Structure 1
Amino acid sequence: MNIIGIIASQRKAGNTAFIINQLLEGAKKQGAETEAFGFSNLDIKPCRGCNRCKQSNRGCVIKDDMQKISDALEHADAIVLGLPIYMGQMSAQGKIFTDRLYARFSPRFSPFFKENAVKQKLILSFNQGNPDANLFKPYIDYTKRMFEILEFDVNAIPVITGMRNGPAYEREDLRTSLKDFGSALVLEESPK
């Protein structure tokens, strides 16, 4: 199984990076091949809304680091998307990534519109400073539904809370639970 992680944060070694790396480590222990992409190392521009991706078979016309992710997505069985919550929504980097997926979802260009196409599995991992896991539930549910409409199989949605109380890497409970989610993605089971 080939799994890619998207760290939708500018912080190179922040909470989102730790969370994604733990999820990928759990998957790797079950034999998955993994690769992570962090926005701190990438130059990805916002979607222009030009619709040129729909006018030909060449996909997005913006030439930046999104091509690296797009190439990896074409061969991935699953995606682990790390989304810090800022101001009640996913980070700007998460929104840029999501908007740039638009070029992939065209009947002329995307393999996902082929008959009997296998949906890519997706773990949506949210992290937030607030300790209340239900505070942003309507937004998280909306985001899950949006990815389901885009034909992803949303496998799990871990919501990591209380990030204001200290860095994620100091929480031993997170190491275990995140690795369990990553393992379950490969084993096709849901962690308890």
Structure 2
Amino acid sequence: MNIIGIIASPRKEGNTAFIVNKILGGAKEQGAETSAFSFGNLHIEPCCGCWSCHRSQQGCVIEDDMQKIYDAIERADAIVLGVPIYMGQMSAQGKIFTDRLFARFSPRFSPFFNDHAVKQRLILSFNQGNPDANLFKVYTDYTKQMFEVLEFEVSEVPIVTGLRNEPAHSKKDLDMSLKKFGSSLVLASC
């Protein structure tokens, strides 16, 4: 099983990276092949709305590091998308990633849509400073539904809270619970 992680945060080694890497670690312990892409190390432009991706079979015309992610998505059985919540929504990096999926996963337009006979599984992980996991529930539920419309099978939506004053790596028991999400991705496919 091949699982990729997308760290949609500007921080290379912040909470989102910790969370995604722990989930991937749990999958790797079950024998999965894993890799991660961190927006802190990538140059990815926002969608320019040119619609070239829908006028031909070439896909997105923007030549940047998103091309690497497109290739990895094509080979992946599952994706772990880690997104911090900024101002009640996903980070700018998460939005850029989501918008750039338009070239590959747009049901009414894309020549690439329905290339996957089996839906790709997705863990959609959010993290936030606020301790109330339900504070942005309307938004996290909406985002989950949006990925389901794009024909991902959203298997889990973990929300790691209270990170304003205590970083993820210092939270007791978080390490094991995150690894369980990764393990479940692999075990559910067996």
Match of 1:148 in 2: 148
Match of 1:168 in 2: 168
- Residue identity in the other structure for 2:146: M
- Residue identity in the other structure for 1:86: Y
Is this contact kept in 2: 1:58–1:109, CA < 8 A?
Answer: no
**Cα deviations by residue, 1:35-55 (Å, 9 ceiling, x for unpaired):** 000000000000011100001
Counterpart of 1:164 in 2: which secondary structure? coil
CA distance, structure 1, for counterparts of residue 43 and residue 172 of structure 2: 33
Number of aligned residue pairs: 187
Counterpart of 2:164 in 1: which secondary structure? helix
Match of 1:109 in 2: 111
Match of 1:29 in 2: 29
Is this contact kept in 2: 1:56–1:108, CA < 8 A?
Answer: no
Gaps of 5+ in 1: none
Q: RMSD of the alignment, in Å? A: 1.3
CA distance, structure 2, for counterparts of residue 4 and residue 108 of structure 1: 22
Counterpart of 1:163 in 2: which secondary structure? coil
Correspondence 1:45-56 to 2 at 5 A: 45-56=45-56
User: Normalized against structure 1, the TM-score is what?
Assistant: 0.94
Report the alpha carbon displacement of residue 165 of structure 1 after superposing the two structures with TM. 2.2
Match of 2:181 in 1: 181
Match of 1:67 in 2: 67
Percent identical among aligned pairs is: 71
**Cα deviations by residue, 1:127-149 (Å, 9 ceiling, x for unpaired):** 00000000000000000000000
Match of 1:82 in 2: 82
**Cα deviations by residue, 1:38-97 (Å, 9 ceiling, x for unpaired):** 000000000011100001100000000000100000000000000100000000000000
CA distance, structure 1, for counterparts of residue 104 and residue 182 of structure 2: 25
Report the alpha carbon displacement of residue 108 of structure 1 after superposing the two structures with TM. 5.6
CA distance, structure 2, for counterparts of residue 91 and residue 99 of structure 1: 12
Counterpart of 1:16 in 2: which secondary structure? helix
User: Normalized against structure 2, the TM-score is what?
Assistant: 0.95
CA distance, structure 2, for counterparts of residue 59 and residue 140 of structure 1: 28
Match of 1:132 in 2: 132
Counterpart of 2:133 in 1: which secondary structure? coil
Report the alpha carbon displacement of residue 109 of structure 1 after superposing the two structures with TM. 3.1
Report the alpha carbon displacement of residue 172 of structure 1 after superposing the two structures with TM. 2.8
